[in-house]
Structure 1
Amino acid sequence: MNDDHAADTLLICRTLGGCPAATRARTTGLDADGMDFAVTVDDIEVPVRVPFAHRLTERAEIRREVVRMYREACQQLGIEPREAG
């Protein structure tokens, strides 16, 4: 996520993470219930947790859930999501 999807991570944290003023975000961890991020706001790094829509039970669900979060963030901002590659 951090290297390949930095812009998506920031978008998710700005919308779903409740940090619209964030200038940077990086994934720091995850568990079955959500993802943890370190988000920079006003040059201060703060922890942010974004819960998943449901508890994940299989590793393959992680990618689908992250794509869902990205699309939800785009929808909230009224922007067209790009196709997942």
Structure 2
Amino acid sequence: MKVWEALLRIPAGAVSTYSHIASSIGQPKAQRAVGTAIGSNPVAFLIPCHRVIQSTGKLGGYHWGETRKSAIVGWEMAGGLKS
């Protein structure tokens, strides 16, 4: 729940990293657990797991594929969703 709450604080058009999310919930070494929590998100567009990328800048995995993740992030960055 803490991970999903942290995801809700990422504004539309912005991205964060697994390590930043882990730090924001007080568990700076829990990047893998953050990834697991994000991967188990049952309502992916409502809980914006697509806004989390790898620290290298790569998009990383997404249940519906990296192409869709890229499209959603791009759409939000272009102003397609105002939060």
Q: TM-score, normalised by structure 1?
A: 0.24
More helix by share: 2
